[in-house]
Structure 1
Amino acid sequence: MVRRFRVLPLRSRLALLVATAVAVAVAGVAVASWVIVRAQLREQLDASLLAINPTEQVVATLNQQGCASGPARPGLEFANNLNATVQLVAADGSHCWVSGRTTLPVTLTDRQIAARQKENAVHDVTTTDGVAMRVYTFGVRTDDRNGQFFAMSVAKPLSDIDRPLSTLAWVLLLVGGVGVVGAGAAGLWVARTGLKPVDELTGAVEHIARTEDLTVRIPDEGEDEIARLSRSFNQMTAALASSRDRQAQLIADAGHELRTPLTSLRTNIELLARSEETGRAIPPADRRELLASVKAQMTELASLIGDLQELSRPEAAGPGPLQVVALHEIAGNALARARLRGPELRITAELEPWYVRSEPTALERAVVNVLDNAVKFSPPGGAVEVALRGGELTVRDHGPGIAEEDLPHVFDRFWRSPSARSLPGSGLGLSIVARTVGRAGGTAELRPAEPGPGTVAVLKLPGAPTPPPEVPEAKGA
């Protein structure tokens, strides 16, 4: 049953749930109403029985005619007019003098009242002809010489309340059925109206899956859950479109960057191969220059491929687990590599201890990229100042600097300023810097040096708890 219910469309399930809820509520109200009305009708029936008090007439008739079974006495025809039955019961269980349309069965309660063991009682009985009766029995003493004591039973048929109750049950059933059907129809209409935005969303998703058109947008007016879902969907499609555009741009830029070294590499290799095929030897100096060029281009390709692999990682997945590392030690290692690449430069450093939470290899590569840029753009014999204070690593060079209009683009992938296009590099270094620093919770910035010329690169990284010092193991005796 549950499996079949889940197979139904959502609007059908909502309509069915609404109809079921209304049916349960209507059934509860109907049953409660029927029970309350039944209790009230029985109370009214009991009150009407208590109001019938033929004691004086019964006693008078008993004194005149005695207690004998037979037809109803003329003096008690009022009982028939009230649709009531009157009967006398002796302590031995014999009964007599019936007034009404039927004879009542004698019960233990009647004999107990006739024997003065009880004063009165109200109970239900069923006659020999199958009529259910409500009976009020009480004790009566005659005024004859023997002073005989009887139990007088006054009864009325329960059909007086069963017929109204039956009519009420049918009315409640009819009204409840109409209400349930109406609730189901209303639930279906509400489901269709409420799920219309979901249908639009479904249509948009199907359209995107069919055409891969990520420019589709759906209306998102309002502040309800459907509007929030629509806005989230629009944001998701916008993010997917942006991601696809960035991916296409990355492929195009990577192809453009790979074309130049590959073309140069192919040309050099073809020259070497032609020399071998034709037997025309290339002068040793030219051959060494060609081989050095091939090696440099292979190195550039390897570096470019490594940068592309780094940038191809998802933003949410870093290259490795974050751990507390010493930024001053990483900066010191990067400085050693930078001094090897720019031996003619004066590189000074002031590094205060600072610990951050990052991936060590990626962070060192980012710092190396920043220092490589400073070395690359510094004039021969120039100076590079490096400082680490309070979690802020600054690298200042004295090169030509970056134009004001180029500053917003320095961290874009494959972006290179006009003055740097003739220099080695892929334009991915600063993108990797920004991404690595961002993963560590910091920021990266480039700004013109003051006083100029030159550029200042600033990496701000939040601090992390200082790791405890390592305790050397005690040597055994």
Structure 2
Amino acid sequence: MSPAARFRGLPLRSRLALLVTVAVALAVAAVACVSWFMVRTQLNDQLNSSLRSTNARAQASQTLNQIRCQDKVPGPFENNLSAQVQIVLPTGDRCWVDGKDTLPVTDYDLDVAKRLRGATLYDGRTTDGTPVRVYTQPVELSAGPNVQNAAISVAKPLSDVTEPLSTLAWVLLFVSGVGILGAGVAGLWVARTGLRPVDELTGAVEHIARTEDLTVRIPDEGDDEIARLSRSFNSMTAALASSQERQAQLIADAGHELRTPLTSLRTNIELLARSEETGRAIPPEDRKELLASVKAQMTELASLIGDLQELSRPDATTPGPLGVVALHEIAGTALSRARLRGPELEFDSDLAPWYVRGEAAALERAVVNVLDNAVKFSPPGSTVTVSLRAGELTVRDRGPGIPADDLPHVFERFWRSPSARALPGSGLGLSIVARTVQRAGGTAALRAPADGGPGTEAVLSIPGAPTPPPAQASVVPDQ
């Protein structure tokens, strides 16, 4: 297994702690290296400055006027310069001046003594092998009337630089180790603290998966990403709980609505079956009424099942093809059907052209449902007014109207006003109307007539235009 695969196989908490530790280790290492190199540069500069500032030239000239060059004898500057000092002649001879040891004569020293180069700094060693930093500069030696070119070398041990650097390296190594170890501990603490909400979220998800309890909520204090994730999770569980409640309510309401026609249908079928089993014939008139009741109950069940299928579709799913629909033509077709269902009513229509984008079949069903309600609640001989102006389809009946307290509930599934419970219907028609109109981008509402007269006005407002868009064909439902 590759290192990357092994890293991905670690728990998220371990990965975060490891990443924090590596990041801190790299930062500490970078700071330690930069610090060490900066100190080394500064110490080297100080050593070079110290060598350049040593006033050995005048002192050496004075010495040569007083004593003779020797191989190594105590001189007047010993322990004063804290350095090795010697004079180098162009011939290669050297003349020890001060210090604990002598310096080998190098090409740098000879070039300076011969005036082939200027003052020079270089690293070297004493005759006993001690590493030193050497500064050689030109000097003129006078012995009576004669002046001789020479060079004077001043050397100081490199231990003045290497020993502090070595101490600093050990200190930085210790501090870096402590910092990296602390970073690892801090990384574990940060990962554990930062991922605690994630652990709570994981526990909540596992609890919901195990118990299907959608009432669980996670604390969502703050505005960070974890709090946003917690709020999103709470919103999701709330939506699921609401959907579950609506589903349970739909099943309960559907069962309640199905119970009445099924009970009536079962009773009628049992009467017919008992008549056949016992041989007691039912009077023709009663038999005809029973069969008519069975047929009506079957029709009501089929209508209820169709409405339930329509409402069971997801809101975001469009059940049919969308296109530019002539709403005035759909309203005209629905009005023709309404006239057949209410031959005892008068219909007054005024339909101005209006084109919308939607599904023709669904919009036609919505308009038919609105007109069916108007036919159902209108007394015989009354007038149903239908108008379409600027995208607002208004259907007014002259029935008993809807109490103001009931208006907020008219678009709820299976809701029926007390006055309408004795009439046929499932209470799903207006729910389908509201859903279809919303899918087309519009709104549906019921209200009392503006003139204060009897009845109810159903208003469907759908955005559109009085003329179809260019290069668009209107979708007209089958007649």
**Normalising TM by the smaller chain, what interval?**
0.7 to 0.9
The amino acid across from 2:113 in the alignment is A
How well do the aligned residues superpose, as a CA RMSD in angstroms?
2.9
Q: Which moved more, 1:188-197 or 1:340-349?
A: 188-197
Per the normalisation by structure 1, the TM-score is 0.87
What does 1:38-437 correspond to in 2, within 5 Å? 38-61=40-63, 70=71, 72-75=72-75, 77-78=77-78, 81-91=80-90, 95=94, 97=96, 99-126=98-125, 130-144=129-143, 147-276=147-276, 282=282, 284-320=284-320, 322-437=322-437
Q: Which moved more, 1:27-36 or 1:382-391?
A: 27-36
The amino acid across from 2:427 in the alignment is G
Residues 1:42 and 1:469: Cα distance change in structure 2 (over 3 Å): closer
SS, match of residue 404 in structure 1 = coil
Q: Which moved more, 1:224-233 or 1:415-424?
A: 224-233
Q: For the residues of structure 1 that align with 2:76 and 2:262, how far apart are their CA atoms?
A: 127
Q: For the residues of structure 2 that align with 1:92 and 1:334, how far apart are their CA atoms?
A: 127
Residues 1:104 and 1:284: Cα distance change in structure 2 (over 3 Å): farther
SS, match of residue 75 in structure 2 = helix
Q: Which moved more, 1:25-34 or 1:103-112?
A: 103-112
User: Is contact 2:60-2:97 (8 Å) kept?
Assistant: no
SS, match of residue 235 in structure 2 = helix
User: Is contact 2:75-2:98 (8 Å) kept?
Assistant: no
Q: CA offsets per residue over residues 182-241 of structure 1, 9 Å max, x none?
A: 343334334444444443333333322222222223333444444443333333322222
The answer on 1:24 being equivalent to 2:26 is yes
Deviation at 1:374, TM superposition (A): 0.8
Q: For the residues of structure 2 that align with 1:105 and 1:289, how far apart are their CA atoms?
A: 137
> Where does residue 468 of structure 1 map in the other structure?
470
User: Is contact 1:57-1:75 (8 Å) kept?
Assistant: no
The amino acid across from 2:120 in the alignment is A
Residues 1:218 and 1:265: Cα distance change in structure 2 (over 3 Å): same
Q: For the residues of structure 1 that align with 2:147 and 2:176, how far apart are their CA atoms?
A: 59
Q: CA offsets per residue over residues 24-77 of structure 1, 9 Å max, x none?
A: 332222222222221111111011101223223434555677767x3x243264
Residues 1:330 and 1:117: Cα distance change in structure 2 (over 3 Å): farther
SS, match of residue 215 in structure 1 = coil
SS, match of residue 119 in structure 1 = coil
Residues 1:127 and 1:348: Cα distance change in structure 2 (over 3 Å): farther
Q: For the residues of structure 2 that align with 1:91 and 1:284, how far apart are their CA atoms?
A: 152
User: Is contact 2:96-2:102 (8 Å) kept?
Assistant: no
Identity of aligned residues (%): 72
Residues 1:101 and 1:444: Cα distance change in structure 2 (over 3 Å): same
SS, match of residue 334 in structure 2 = helix
Deviation at 1:321, TM superposition (A): 5.0
Deviation at 1:301, TM superposition (A): 1.9
The amino acid across from 2:137 in the alignment is F
Per the normalisation by structure 2, the TM-score is 0.87
Deviation at 1:269, TM superposition (A): 3.6
Q: CA offsets per residue over residues 86-108 of structure 1, 9 Å max, x none?
A: 34445566655374344545444
SS, match of residue 405 in structure 2 = helix
Q: For the residues of structure 1 that align with 2:240 and 2:299, how far apart are their CA atoms?
A: 34
Deviation at 1:6, TM superposition (A): 3.8
User: Is contact 2:24-2:183 (8 Å) kept?
Assistant: yes
Residues 1:239 and 1:147: Cα distance change in structure 2 (over 3 Å): same
User: Is contact 1:124-1:134 (8 Å) kept?
Assistant: yes
Deviation at 1:340, TM superposition (A): 2.0
Deviation at 1:131, TM superposition (A): 3.5
Deviation at 1:164, TM superposition (A): 0.8
SS, match of residue 143 in structure 1 = strand
Residues 1:192 and 1:470: Cα distance change in structure 2 (over 3 Å): closer
Q: Which moved more, 1:133-142 or 1:428-437?
A: 133-142
> Where does residue 438 of structure 2 map in the other structure?
438
Q: Which ranges in structure 1 are unaligned for 5 or more consecutive residues? A: 472-477
> Where does residue 476 of structure 2 map in the other structure?
none
Q: Which moved more, 1:42-51 or 1:257-266?
A: 257-266
User: Is contact 1:57-1:76 (8 Å) kept?
Assistant: no
User: Is contact 1:214-1:238 (8 Å) kept?
Assistant: yes
SS, match of residue 216 in structure 1 = coil
Q: For the residues of structure 2 that align with 1:456 and 1:105, how far apart are their CA atoms?
A: 118
Q: For the residues of structure 2 that align with 1:95 and 1:362, how far apart are their CA atoms?
A: 115
User: Is contact 1:346-1:384 (8 Å) kept?
Assistant: yes
Deviation at 1:394, TM superposition (A): 0.8
Q: For the residues of structure 1 that align with 2:231 and 2:221, how far apart are their CA atoms?
A: 9
Q: CA offsets per residue over residues 151-202 of structure 1, 9 Å max, x none?
A: 3321112111111111112222222332333343334334444444443333
Q: For the residues of structure 2 that align with 1:163 and 1:429, how far apart are their CA atoms?
A: 95
> Where does residue 455 of structure 2 map in the other structure?
454
User: Is contact 1:113-1:137 (8 Å) kept?
Assistant: yes
The amino acid across from 1:338 in the alignment is A
User: Is contact 2:123-2:134 (8 Å) kept?
Assistant: yes
Q: CA offsets per residue over residues 128-149 of structure 1, 9 Å max, x none?
A: 7653321212122322477443
The amino acid across from 1:122 in the alignment is L
User: Is contact 1:14-1:191 (8 Å) kept?
Assistant: yes
Q: Which moved more, 1:345-354 or 1:210-219?
A: 210-219
Q: For the residues of structure 1 that align with 2:127 and 2:341, how far apart are their CA atoms?
A: 121
Q: For the residues of structure 1 that align with 2:362 and 2:124, how far apart are their CA atoms?
A: 96
Q: CA offsets per residue over residues 248-288 of structure 1, 9 Å max, x none?
A: 11111111212222233333444444555556555555444
Q: For the residues of structure 2 that align with 1:410 and 1:63, how far apart are their CA atoms?
A: 125
Deviation at 1:358, TM superposition (A): 2.1
The amino acid across from 1:380 in the alignment is P
User: Is contact 1:19-1:183 (8 Å) kept?
Assistant: yes
SS, match of residue 413 in structure 1 = coil
The amino acid across from 1:139 in the alignment is P
